[in-house]
């Protein structure tokens, strides 16, 4: 058994190499986020304006996580398009997609290539509609998503904003609540719908890929998987009583909630992702307020059982050290939860660079101290270099941390996106009391497993 | 049960795609291929960069730097099953991660610094620099940067002209061959024994190169270099000392082999290591080529006998279970498709649909000849077409890559991964046994009975049976 002396507890400041290039990115490119968000709209087909490769790579990446088909069309630039512009490819491409998929919406995102050659998308849309529009033509939405500024999360939020900006209409205030969840799992979305329904308020949850990206096996071929936020709901978001938007790092971001508040005076509440007890409490308080319904007993009971289990297991996790990585808001939520259960998030790292990570972490976790190192705009090689001196007990984030967990010989708690080395990544529940419960059980059990495995005695009773 | 969406439209074929599809026995003449994918059609293809990256990636002691914005590099981080017996530099994803200002002012400086730093950090024996789409537009002089760094650092720094939009995956293969060819001929050939070959176009997925190499060793043939399975820069430098190039993987390495034939007079043989027939043929062809030593042929025959005897009982057992099942094949190269058609036949299965992303006119002609009437042959298909044909032909199995997998599963069809991401070795004799088990473990699984389409069919069949009895 290792005896810990006071000396062991002193740690060197973790170091990492500064490098001009990125080594094993802890981020993905902008259009990926946009495509996922768009696939959360009923009958929408994502369409990338650029080269074929981007759409194929993004599809493959999403498929490996969700294990669901996702069709993403491409205008498929050739050398000519790169020189003379992609107008004709765009027109032909959209026309083909409309004919073949009969979608309710063609949701266009740009790529690095079309942005670099300075494609004027407004003009392309205008020209297309002038020539090709017909009665009953699908809706057209566009978003600008160059990957050289931002990450997949920016693409996601920009797409959500583009959807409301294009479709929301003004009108008399209704009881409706808009919920912009951010990039969460299919299980999270289902959970949010259940919570909203339990509060008996009409809602617009945008996007909602809980079915389109986690559907049943088909009895007949589905060109575009069913499910998704109904377009009518997006339109109605302009008359909602309130928007709730998850993401502490969004405070300066031109988000969907902000758009609706500026354009249609729909009040916007920005909350942290409801991960762990306090952030979930804030969400349920907000819901009680806007719905006029007290938190349903079902959920207070879930909270109660969660608290009870935290007490049962607290010794197993206390002052364990964790490395948290991923999208900034996910990192904030997870770190907040870990702090609640006595785990020290020794490193909070993200490839994102909103400039708000540090602030958001301190806002969410008032007790945060200098044992926690915070780095944005960072890659996995750098996380690995810092890990050398951090003595983490476990790491928590996407599959992409697997090599690190193997090197450190500590468990990897798989959350977020992508989960490419396990089944059911999209069914991981992170949100709410229920999500906290399953995260907690997973973490505690992983640590118990380490203890059991490393014990020379092999207790079957812990 | 989920309600069927209203007015489900027929899955139509886009008019621009019609010429790329034929049914064996129905149409005369060829098939349209080698084309740029149609705009708006959801092609299963990737891009030029993807082709280059696939081919060069297994060179394990080289640095692979993707010059461009982050996505192209991020999506190709450690996704291939190409194994290395030593260094693992290739399993990293390095990118210049171009930002807005780089796009405006050019990325050459960033590329230079990134290269120098990474070479210092990882000490590779060579570096490949892949140009992605926007590099082709912002006009960076990648060649100049590579030259400068090569001079400063004393290792080959090889530009790969793989801008995504400048063609198809095939052009990416070509660009990769051009880049790697710069290494060939830079080493000495003094110590190369007679009866030496290069293995071209095997990428050591799940350790396949090791299996093949072992076979050649056993029959007394020396392998100079594998390009690029488990490759090292040093081996490639000597590759021109081999007496024969064995080229697997249609297309990807033909260009390299041709250049070596032109400049070093190394003859070429096209081979495949999938399936018993093709694997045996590859060994026999090699033995025939080195007929000055008849013991090579003797050993080859001995090896084939031994290996086949080992796996044959297994295959026979699988064959009994798989007899009469129908398969659809959609793979990258047409040559692999040939092998699969044969391998399936050996398992008692028929091929009802077969296509490739990059086949040429000759390939499709051969496919048409070797497939039964009624078989559908497609070039560069898309999910809708693939689904349509799988349903029409009511196949039991789809062989393809990860992008095809969910299409199969959603329709209640078994699936076998035969792409660059596979983690099971499918080459060689042992590979044939693995392949049979892979196919069997999907086709024979009891889960399909619950898939709605199959469940409905079972129900209908049961009703008919009961009706018959009544
Ligand atoms: S940007 Fe170009 S090179 Fe990169 S993935 Fe897309 S098509 Fe391929
Ligand atoms: S070019 Fe841009 S959009 Fe395309 S894969 Fe690369 S980073 Fe993503």
pLDDT at B315 over 90: yes
- Averaged over B241-270, what is the pLDDT? 92
> What pLDDT score does B12 carry?
66
* Neighbouring-strand partners of residue B397: B327, B414
- Per mean pLDDT, which range of A52-56, A318-322, B21-25 is the poorest? B21-25
Task: Determine the residue of chain B that is closest to A32 in CA distance.
Answer: B71
Which residues in chain A (93-122) have CB-CB distances under 8 A to chain B? 93-97, 99-102, 111-113, 116-117
> What pLDDT score does B29 carry?
59
A381 closest CA partner among B204, B69, B38, B121: B121
> What pLDDT score does B442 carry?
95
Mutate to test the interface with A, among B9, B14, B39 (most CBs of A within 10 A): B39
Which residues in chain B (38-67) have CB-CB distances under 8 A to chain A? 38-50, 65
Q: Please check whether residue B9 touches A, CB under 8 A.
A: yes
pLDDT at B365 over 70: yes
Q: What is the pLDDT of residues A85-136, one digit of tens each?
A: 899 999 999 999 999 999 999 999 999 999 999 999 999 999 999 999 999 9
Q: What is the pLDDT of residues A309-343, one digit of tens each?
A: 999 999 999 999 999 999 999 999 999 999 999 99
Which residues in chain B (385-414) have CB-CB distances under 8 A to chain A? 387-388, 391, 402-403, 405-407, 409-412
The answer to whether A215 touches A39, Cβ cutoff 8 Å, is: no
More confident site: B30 or A339: A339
Q: How far is the CA of B170 from the centre of ligand 2 (A)?
A: 20
Supply B205's token pair. 């997925």
> What pLDDT score does B9 carry?
43
- Averaged over B276-297, what is the pLDDT? 97
In this complex, the residue of A28, A92, A218 whose CB is nearest that of residue B71 is A28
Give how far A428 is from chain B: nearest CA, Å. Answer: 19
In SS3 terms, chain A reads as CCCCCHHHHCCCCCCCCCCCCEECECCCCHHHHHHHHHCCECCEEEEEECCHHHHHHHHHHHHHHHCCCCCCEECCCCHHHHHHCCHHHHHHHHHHHHHHHCCCEEEEEECHHHHHCCCCHHHHHHHHHHHHCCCCCCEEEEECCCCCCCCHHHHHHHHHHHHHHHHCCCCCCCCCEEEECCCCCHHHHHHHHHHHHHCCCCEEEECCCCCCCCCCCCCCCCCCCCCCECHHHHHHHHHCCEEEEECHHHHHCCCHHHHHHHHHCCCEEEECCCCCHHHHHHHHHHHHHHHCCCCCHHHHHHHHHHHHHHHHHHHHHCCCEEEEECCHHHHHHHHHHHHHCCCEEEEEECCCCCCCHHHHHHHHCCCCCCCCEEECCCEHHHHHHHHHHHCCCEEEECHHHHHHHHHHCCCEEECCCCCCCCCCHHHCCCCHHHHHHHHHHHHHHHHHHHHHHHCCCCCCCC
Q: What is the pLDDT of residues B158-213, one digit of tens each?
A: 999 999 988 888 899 999 999 999 999 999 999 999 999 999 999 999 999 999 99
Q: Please check whether residue B172 touches A, CB under 8 A.
A: no
Task: Determine, for residues A29 and B95 on separate chains, whether the beta-carbon distance falls below 8 Å.
Answer: no
Other Cβ atoms closer than 10 A to B348: 16
pLDDT at B254 over 70: yes
- What is the band of B470 on the pLDDT scale with cuts at 50, 70, 90? very low
Mutate to test the interface with B, among A28, A42, A100 (most CBs of B within 10 A): A100
More confident site: B47 or B260: B260
Task: Determine, for residues A28 and B456 on separate chains, whether the beta-carbon distance falls below 8 Å.
Answer: no
Which atom belonging to ligand 1 lies closest to the Cα atom of A113? 1
B15 closest CA partner among A99, A76, A78: A99
- Averaged over B100-122, what is the pLDDT? 96
Q: Please check whether residue B189 touches A, CB under 8 A.
A: no
- Averaged over A363-385, what is the pLDDT? 96
Cβ neighbours for B358, distance < 8 A, ≥ 6 positions apart: B45, B168, B169, B170, B250, B251, B332, B333, B334, B380
Q: What is the pLDDT of residues A384-429, one digit of tens each?
A: 999 999 999 999 999 999 999 999 999 999 999 999 999 999 999 9
The answer to whether A243 touches A173, Cβ cutoff 8 Å, is: no
Mean predicted lDDT score pLDDT of chain A: 95
- What is the band of A13 on the pLDDT scale with cuts at 50, 70, 90? confident
Q: How far is the CA of A29 from the centre of ligand 2 (A)?
A: 6
Task: Determine, for residues A100 and B102 on separate chains, whether the beta-carbon distance falls below 8 Å.
Answer: no
Query: What domains, with CATH codes, occur in chain B?
Result: 15-31+312-453 (3.40.50.1980), 48-167 (3.40.50.1980), 196-306 (3.40.50.12380)
Considering chain A, what percentage of its residues have pLDDT values greater than 70?
97
pTM: 0.94
- Per mean pLDDT, which range of A81-90, A243-252, B16-25, B274-283 is the poorest? B16-25
Give how far B341 is from chain A: nearest CA, Å. Answer: 26
- What is the band of B250 on the pLDDT scale with cuts at 50, 70, 90? low
Phi, psi of A430, rounded to the nearest 5 degrees: -110, -30
Q: Please check whether residue B454 touches A, CB under 8 A.
A: no
pLDDT at A350 over 90: yes
pLDDT at B10 over 60: no
| CA A228/CA A241 separation, integer angstroms | 22
Task: Determine the residue of chain B that is closest to A377 in CA distance.
Answer: B97
Query: What domains, with CATH codes, occur in chain A?
Result: 6-25+311-454 (3.40.50.1980), 30-215+225-273 (3.40.50.1980)
């Amino acid at each position: 058994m290792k005896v810990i002396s006071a000396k062991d507890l002193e740690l060197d400041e973790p170091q990492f190499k500064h490098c001009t290039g990125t080594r094993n990115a802890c981020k993905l490119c902008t259009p990926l986020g946009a495509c996922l968000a768009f696939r959360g709209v009923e009958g929408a087909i994502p369409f990338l304006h650029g080269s074929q490769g981007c759409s194929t790579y993004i599809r493959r990446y999403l498929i490996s996580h969700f294990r669901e088909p996702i069709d993403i069309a491409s205008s498929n630039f050739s050398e000519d398009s790169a020189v003379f512009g992609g107008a004709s490819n765009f027109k032909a491409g959209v026309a083909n997609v409309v004919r073949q998929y009969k979608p309710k919406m063609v949701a266009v995102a740009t790529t690095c290539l079309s942005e670099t050659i300075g494609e004027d998308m407004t003009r392309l849309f205008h020209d297309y509609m002038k020539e090709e529009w017909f009665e009953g033509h699908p809706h057209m939405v566009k978003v600008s998503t160059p990957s050289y500024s931002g990450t997949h999360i920016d693409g996601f939020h920009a797409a959500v904003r583009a959807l409301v900006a294009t479709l929301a209409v003004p009108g008399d205030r209704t009881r409706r609540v808009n919920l912009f969840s951010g990039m969460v799992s299919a299980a999270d979305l289902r959970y949010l719908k259940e919570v909203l329904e339990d509060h008996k308020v009409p809602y617009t949850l945008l996007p909602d890929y809980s079915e389109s990206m986690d559907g049943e096996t088909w009895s007949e071929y589905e060109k575009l998987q069913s499910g998704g936020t109904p377009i009518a709901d997006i339109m109605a978001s302009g008359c909602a009583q309130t928007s709730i938007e998850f993401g502490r790092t969004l405070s300066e971001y031109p988000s969907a909630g902000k758009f609706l508040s500026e354009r249609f005076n729909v009040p916007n509440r920005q909350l942290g992702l409801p991960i762990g007890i306090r952030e979930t409490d804030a969400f349920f308080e907000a819901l009680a307020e806007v719905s006029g319904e007290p938190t349903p007993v079902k959920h207070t009971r879930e909270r109660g059982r969660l608290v009870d289990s935290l007490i049962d297991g607290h010794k197993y996790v206390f002052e364990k050290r964790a490395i948290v990585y991923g999208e900034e808001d996910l990192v904030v939520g997870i770190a907040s939860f870990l702090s609640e259960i006595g785990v020290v998030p020794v490193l909070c790292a993200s490839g994102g660079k909103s400039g708000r990570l540090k602030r958001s972490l301190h806002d969410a976790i008032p007790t945060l101290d200098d044992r926690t190192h915070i780095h944005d705009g960072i890659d996995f090689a750098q996380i690995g270099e810092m890990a050398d001196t951090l003595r983490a007990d476990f790491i928590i984030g996407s599959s992409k941390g697997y090599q690190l967990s193997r090197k450190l010989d500590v468990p990897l708690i798989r959350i977020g996106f992508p989960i490419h080395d396990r089944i059911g990544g999209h069914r991981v529940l992170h949100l709410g009391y229920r999500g906290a419960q399953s995260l907690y059980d997973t973490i505690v059990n992983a640590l118990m497993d380490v203890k059991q495995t490393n014990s020379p005695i092999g207790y079957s009773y812990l | 049960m989920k309600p069927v969406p209203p007015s489900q439209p027929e899955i139509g074929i886009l008019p621009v795609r019609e010429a790329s599809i034929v049914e064996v026995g129905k149409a005369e003449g060829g098939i349209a291929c080698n084309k740029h994918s149609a705009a708006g059609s959801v092609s299963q293809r990737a891009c030029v960069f993807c082709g280059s990256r696939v081919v060069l990636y297994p060179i394990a002691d080289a640095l692979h730097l993707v010059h461009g914005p982050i996505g192209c590099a991020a999506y190709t981080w450690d996704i291939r099953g190409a194994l290395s017996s030593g260094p693992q530099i290739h399993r990293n994803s390095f990118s210049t991660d171009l930002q807005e200002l780089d796009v405006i002012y050019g990325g050459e400086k960033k590329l230079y610094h990134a290269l120098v730093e990474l070479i210092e950090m990882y000490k590779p024996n060579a570096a490949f620099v892949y140009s992605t789409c926007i590099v082709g537009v912002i006009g960076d002089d990648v060649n100049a940067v590579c030259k400068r760094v090569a001079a400063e650092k004393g290792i080959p720094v090889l530009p790969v002209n793989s801008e995504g939009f400048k063609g198809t995956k095939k052009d990416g293969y070509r660009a990769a061959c051009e880049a790697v060819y710069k290494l060939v001929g830079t080493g000495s050939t003094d110590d190369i024994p007679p009866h030496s070959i290069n293995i071209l176009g095997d990428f050591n997925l799940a350790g396949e190169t090791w299996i093949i190499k072992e076979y050649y060793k056993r029959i007394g043939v020396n392998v100079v270099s594998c390009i690029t399975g488990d490759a090292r820069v040093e081996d490639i430098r000597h590759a021109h000392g081999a007496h024969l190039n064995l080229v697997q993987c249609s297309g990807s390495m033909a260009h390299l082999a041709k250049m070596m034939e032109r400049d070093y007079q190394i003859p070429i043989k096209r081979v495949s290591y999938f399936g018993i027939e093709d694997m045996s043929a590859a060994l026999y062809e090699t033995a025939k080529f080195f007929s000055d030593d008849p013991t090579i042929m003797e050993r080859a025959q001995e090896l084939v006998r031994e290996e086949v005897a080992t796996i044959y009982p297994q295959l026979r057992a699988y064959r009994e279970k798989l007899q009469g099942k129908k398969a659809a094949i959609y793979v990258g190269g047409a040559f692999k498709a040939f092998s699969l058609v044969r391998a399936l036949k050996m398992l008692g299965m028929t091929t009802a649909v077969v296509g490739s992303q990059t086949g040429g006119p000759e390939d499709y002609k051969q496919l048409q000849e070797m497939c039964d009437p009624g078989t559908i042959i497609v070039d560069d298909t898309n999910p809708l077409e693939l689904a349509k044909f799988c349903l029409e032909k009511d196949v039991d199995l789809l062989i393809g890559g990860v992008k095809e997998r969910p299409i199969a599963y959603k329709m209640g069809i078994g699936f076998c991964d035969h792409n660059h991401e596979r983690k099971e070795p499918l080459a060689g004799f042992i590979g044939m046994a693995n392949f049979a088990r892979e196919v069997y473990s999907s086709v024979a699984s009891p889960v399909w009975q619950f898939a709605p389409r199959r469940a409905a069919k079972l129900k209908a069949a049961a009703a008919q049976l009961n009706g018959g009895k009544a």
